[in-house]
Amino acid sequence: MAAPTALQLDRFLPYRLSVLTNIVSTAIAGAYRKRFGLTIPEWRVMAVLALTPNLSAAEVAERTAMDKVAVSRAVSSLLRARRLERRTATGDRRRSVLRLSKAGERVYAQVVPFALAYERELIRPLDAEERKVLDRALRILLDRATEMGPVHTD
């Protein structure tokens, strides 16, 4: 029986993506918390609702690929802080939808320039062609991972 091949973590794409995500999220999370009083999940909920208001919490979870519990906690916190409003959906009284409140819109308007400046600084070492290649590769990998779905171990 052949010995299993060793997994080279520093070359294993899922691991590398996870490390990159953790480093970037940790760096920006501290700034979001300190400057705007937001967690990363709260910011993601706000960002989605700023572009697409009147979504349910389940729809926000689906769009962000976040755990429903994390979205629920973020929504509850944002509602308490009056950064979100919850309303009954038009046409379906059983469904509630979310949107940014005026206070939420003000916070969003402050965070966006900060977030975009962070992104610009992060990708500054890449030239225009490398940025295009990165964008295309990320889209392809996202589509493929979505297509593959969860890994089952049965």
Q: Which string of DSSP letters, residue by residue, matches 26-83?
A: HHHHHHIIIII---HHHHHHHHHHHHS-SB-HHHHHHHHT--HHHHHHHHHHHHHTTS
Instruction: Say how far apart CA 1 and CA 9 lie, in whole Å.
Output: 24
Give me the numbers of helices (H) and strands (E) for the chain, helices first please.
6, 2
Beta bridge pairs of residue 87 = 97
pLDDT at position 149 is 85
Q: Which amino acid is at 72?
A: S
Report the predicted TM-score, pTM, of the whole model to 2 decimal places. Answer: 0.82
pLDDT in tens, the chain (154 residues): 666 788 999 999 999 999 999 999 888 888 889 999 999 999 999 999 999 999 999 999 999 989 999 999 999 999 999 999 999 878 777 888 999 999 999 999 999 999 999 999 999 999 999 999 999 999 999 999 989 988 776 6
pLDDT at position 88 is 86
